[in-house]
């Protein structure tokens, strides 16, 4: 008896795991939520793969479940992290708001993207750092802002082709090389000079001494009043967090170890900066060292230490201390893992240029400390630096920072008719009132897919083509939006109900799945699916639309699914469907759908399915 029970329990767990793994990361916004290198480089960037201090406030639930690949085949049993947010919210919400992605296929290309964004017309100066040293890039940030220069990356022996091409585009007169010849070889310097560009190398025997050389170069250009001390021990993430502040104030970042600050840096502080801030806890900068520095300056006591229970908490406290609670015009988003942080080495000068803080986050979930901070602030624009963020992270940040509710509820409207039972429309489409709803719009971009494609743009093209076909067939078509505007979910449902529509069709594109390529952000999910409301007619329309799409596109069949949990389906009187025309995060789907002609073709297939259902 016990064995039978055990087998049944295991079977149930396996079935639930399989079901969860097949849910795409993104469905629609209409959710009704009621229902390494050399020794020198290692010295430069002393990092630990695991956090030294645990996130004692974080709550993490891990479920062991079956993963399903893009073809629906079982791959392995792995660990999937679920945040304390509900599974429904994280899986069924799409990206919204003004979000820009600066991401290349590797760290060099990401730095180039940042440079092109911030310096589209070129730059007289460039700062070049080793591509494996986060802390070198961070301490070079105030130098870069001093000379209005982007930061570009190089391996230690040769200039990366992407970096070389960007240098030629920028046409600088001078390049500042950070680190000695072990970090960036003489061959690199010769390559630069061969282009007629002068060089200045700032280096010391240690990374701390190099930071002092950079500080002196900054003070040669202008007076400084503050130093930010970070530690080579556990300090890469802390240094990244202070980069935007150091950059915008053009004050230096000095590097110590836990107990010693090199004499060059100490002398710089004594002679130049009355104010000192310490970034990190006592494990990074101990109290003895802090007291020694404090005795040499007017304002450098323990009260100037900024630290948290982990790097995310420290990051939030740095932003709160120096940037406040906004609202912010811009905020940069960067990965917090030791490898991912390399992507953001070049981000500091851009953040400073835009007077924006850098918020760091794990790529697959938002820590509770970060959630607590962002719950009380607003930002108009988010700039994602580097790829590889999960959908739940980007959508969660947007919901919080753009103030977008994940639980939209319709406001009472006097003109709103009482819901009535659905009636199967009479045969023939002529004269029938049909609502075509292009998903998202305005500041709500919907999913942001590969190459920065926005769902709101694709849905509008597809919806116009669908509406045009239906009108030629004799239907009376009303669109919920005809341009880049955002009707609320209640407004979309109300329009259908007030116009006495006989069918409501919402058009979307999808995003989700397991991470396939961290550099491009490609996810494994792909294919087309249609969600249906109650009633036989909604089921008929959904199936006919799906078949028409599959007959004209080489897309995976994800089937017809129950959509009664989606807001616009459950709150319209007419039979309702929602079409997900493919995954914007899949190269397989994007290659078929990225051109407007293909998006129009998708709209025509949706329309043909609707006409067939009426006939």
Q: What local confidence, expressed as pLDDT, does residue 601 receive?
A: 98
Element (H, E) at 174: strand 174-178
Q: What local confidence, expressed as pLDDT, does residue 127 receive?
A: 98
- Judge whether 315 and 340 are in contact, CB under 8 Å: no
Higher pLDDT, 62 or 139: 139
140: Cβ–Cβ under 8 A, 6 or more apart, which residues? 127, 129, 151, 176, 178, 214
Whether the predicted pLDDT of 488 surpasses 60: yes
**DSSP 8-state assignment for residue 342:** G
Tell which phi-psi region holds residue 614, choosing left (phi > 0), alpha (psi between -120 and 50) or beta: alpha
- Ordered domains of the chain (ranges, CATH): 2-35+57-92 (no CATH), 104-335+343-385 (no CATH), 433-614 (3.40.630.40)
- Judge whether 609 and 547 are in contact, CB under 8 Å: yes
- Judge whether 47 and 342 are in contact, CB under 8 Å: no
Q: What local confidence, expressed as pLDDT, does residue 424 receive?
A: 65
Lowest mean pLDDT among 8-12, 31-35, 41-45, 265-269: 31-35
- Judge whether 92 and 79 are in contact, CB under 8 Å: no
Q: What local confidence, expressed as pLDDT, does residue 68 receive?
A: 33
Q: What local confidence, expressed as pLDDT, does residue 82 receive?
A: 28
Which token pair is 146? 């001093």
Write out pLDDT tens, residues 418-467.
444 555 677 889 999 999 999 999 878 888 899 999 999 999 999 999 99
| pLDDT band at 341; cut points 50, 70, 90 | confident
Write out pLDDT tens, residues 226-263.
999 999 876 677 778 899 999 999 999 999 999 999 99
Task: Give me the DSSP letters along 23-66.
Answer: S-SB--S-B-S-----HHHHHHT---SS-SS--TT---EEEEEE
Q: What local confidence, expressed as pLDDT, does residue 425 receive?
A: 72
Tell which phi-psi region holds residue 324, choosing left (phi > 0), alpha (psi between -120 and 50) or beta: left
Which residue carries 């990356």 as its tokens? 153
Is 189 exposed, middle or buried, given 0-12, 13-18 or 19+ CB atoms closer than 10 A? Answer: middle
User: Listing from the earlier edge strand, what are the strands of the sheet with 328-335?
Assistant: 99-102, 379-385, 328-335, 358-361
Q: What local confidence, expressed as pLDDT, does residue 298 receive?
A: 95
Which residue carries 């409501």 as its tokens? 504
Lowest mean pLDDT among 41-55, 283-297, 307-321, 335-349: 41-55
**Minimal CA–CA distance to 514: which of 613, 585, 451?**
585
User: Listing from the earlier edge strand, what are the strands of the sheet with 226-231?
Assistant: 253-256, 226-231, 275-279, 305-306
Higher pLDDT, 12 or 605: 605
509: Cβ–Cβ under 8 A, 6 or more apart, which residues? 439, 446, 447, 449, 455, 458, 459, 580, 581, 582, 583, 584, 593
Half-sphere exposure of 372 (CA within 13 A, CB side): 13
Q: What are phi and psi of 385, to 5 degrees?
A: -105, 115
Percent of the chain with pLDDT over 70: 80
Whether the predicted pLDDT of 101 surpasses 50: yes
Q: What local confidence, expressed as pLDDT, does residue 389 receive?
A: 84
Cβ atoms < 10 Å from Cβ of 157: 10
Which token pair is 338? 């030791």
Q: What local confidence, expressed as pLDDT, does residue 360 receive?
A: 93
Distance from first CA to last CA of the chain, Å, rounded? 56
CA distances from 147 to 349, 400, 568 (A): 10, 35, 53
Which residue carries 């002092």 as its tokens? 212
**Minimal CA–CA distance to 578: which of 526, 538, 525?**
538
Write out pLDDT tens, residues 391-423.
778 878 888 888 765 444 444 444 444 444 555
Strands (E), 203-339: 226-231, 253-256, 275-279, 305-306, 328-335
Which token pair is 244? 């935007």
State the SS3 of 394-426: HHHHHHHHCCCCCCCCCCCCCCCCCCCCCCCCC
State the SS3 of 470-514: HHHCCCEEEECCCCCCCCCHHHHHHHHHHCCCCEEEEEEEEECCC
Q: What is the mean pLDDT of the chain?
A: 82
Is 535 exposed, middle or buried, given 0-12, 13-18 or 19+ CB atoms closer than 10 A? Answer: middle
For residues 502-507, average pLDDT: 97
- Judge whether 342 and 132 are in contact, CB under 8 Å: yes
Which residue carries 């970096």 as its tokens? 163
Question: Torsion over CA of 410, 414, 419 and 425, rounded to 10 degrees?
Answer: -110
Whether the predicted pLDDT of 132 surpasses 90: no
Percent of the chain with pLDDT over 90: 60
Whether the predicted pLDDT of 7 surpasses 50: yes
| pLDDT band at 486; cut points 50, 70, 90 | confident
| Highest mean pLDDT out of 41-50, 196-205, 323-332, 358-367 | 196-205
């Amino acid at each position: 008896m016990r064995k039978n029970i055990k087998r049944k329990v295991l079977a149930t767990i396996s079935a639930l795991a399989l079901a969860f793994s097949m849910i795409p990361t993104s469905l629609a916004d209409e959710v009704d939520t009621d229902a390494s290198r050399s020794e020198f480089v290692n010295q430069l960037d002393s990092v630990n793969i695991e956090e030294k201090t645990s996130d004692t406030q974080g709550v993490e639930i891990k479920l062991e479940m079956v993963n399903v690949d893009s073809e629906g085949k079982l791959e392995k049993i792995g660990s999937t992290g679920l945040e304390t947010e509900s599974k429904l919210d994280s899986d069924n919400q799409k990206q919204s708001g003004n979000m820009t992605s600066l991401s290349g296929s590797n760290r060099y290309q990401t730095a180039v993207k940042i440079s092109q964004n911030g310096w589209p017309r070129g730059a007289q100066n460039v700062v070049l750092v080793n591509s494996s040293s986060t802390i070198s890039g961070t301490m070079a940030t105030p130098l870069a802002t001093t000379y209005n220069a982007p930061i570009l990356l190089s391996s230690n022996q040769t200039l990366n082709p992407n970096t070389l091409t960007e240098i030629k585009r920028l046409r600088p007169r001078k390049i500042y090389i950070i680190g000695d010849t072990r970090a960036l070889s003489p061959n690199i310097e010769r390559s630069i000079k061969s282009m007629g560009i002068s060089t200045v190398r700032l280096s010391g025997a240690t990374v701390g001494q190099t930071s002092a050389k950079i500080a002196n170069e900054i003070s040669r250009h202008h007076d400084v009043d503050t130093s930010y001390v970070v530690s080579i021990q556990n300090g890469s993430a802390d240094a990244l967090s202070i980069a935007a502040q150091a950059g915008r104030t053009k004050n230096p970042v000095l590097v110590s170890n836990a107990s010693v600050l090199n004499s060059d840096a100490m002398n710089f502080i004594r002679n130049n900066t009355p104010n000192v801030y310490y970034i990190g806890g006592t494990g990074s900068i101990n109290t003895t060292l802090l007291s020694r520095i404090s005795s040499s300056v007017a304002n450098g006591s323990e009260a100037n230490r900024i630290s948290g229970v982990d790097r995310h908490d420290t990051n939030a406290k740095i932003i709160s201390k120096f940037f406040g609670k906004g609202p912010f015009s811009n905020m940069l988003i960067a990965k917090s893992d030791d490898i991912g942080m390399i992507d953001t080495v070049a981000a500091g000068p851009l953040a400073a240029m835009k007077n924006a803080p850098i918020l760091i986050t794990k790529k697959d979930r938002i820590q509770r400390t970060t959630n607590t901070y962002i719950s009380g602030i607003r930002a108009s624009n988010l700039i994602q630096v580097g790829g590889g963020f999960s959908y739940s992270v980007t959508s969660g940040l947007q919901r919080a920072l753009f103030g977008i509710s994940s639980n939209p509820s319709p406001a009472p409207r006097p003109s709103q008719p009482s819901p009535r039972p659905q009636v199967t429309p009479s045969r023939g489409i002529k004269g029938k009132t049909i609502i075509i709803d292009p998903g998202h719009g305005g500041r709500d971009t919907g999913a942001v897919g590969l190459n920065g494609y926005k769902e709101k743009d694709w849905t509008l093209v597809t919806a116009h083509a669908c509406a045009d076909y239906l009108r030629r067939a004799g239907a009376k078509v009303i669109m919920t939006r005809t341009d880049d505007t955002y009707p609320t979910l209640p407004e979309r449902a109300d329009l259908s109900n007030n116009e006495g529509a006989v069918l409501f069709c919402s058009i979307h594109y999808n995003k989700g799945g397991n991470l396939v390529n961290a550099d491009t952000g490609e996810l494994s999910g792909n294919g087309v699916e249609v969600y249906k409301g109650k009633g036989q007619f909604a089921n008929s329309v959904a199936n006919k639309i799906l078949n028409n799409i599959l007959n004209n596109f080489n897309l995976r069949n994800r089937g017809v699914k129950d959509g009664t949990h989606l807001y616009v389906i459950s709150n319209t009187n007419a039979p309702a469907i929602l079409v997900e025309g493919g995954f914007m995060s899949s190269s397989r789907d994007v290659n078929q759908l990225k051109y407007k002609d293909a998006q129009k073709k998708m709209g025509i297939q949706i329309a043909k399915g609707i006409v067939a259902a009426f006939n």
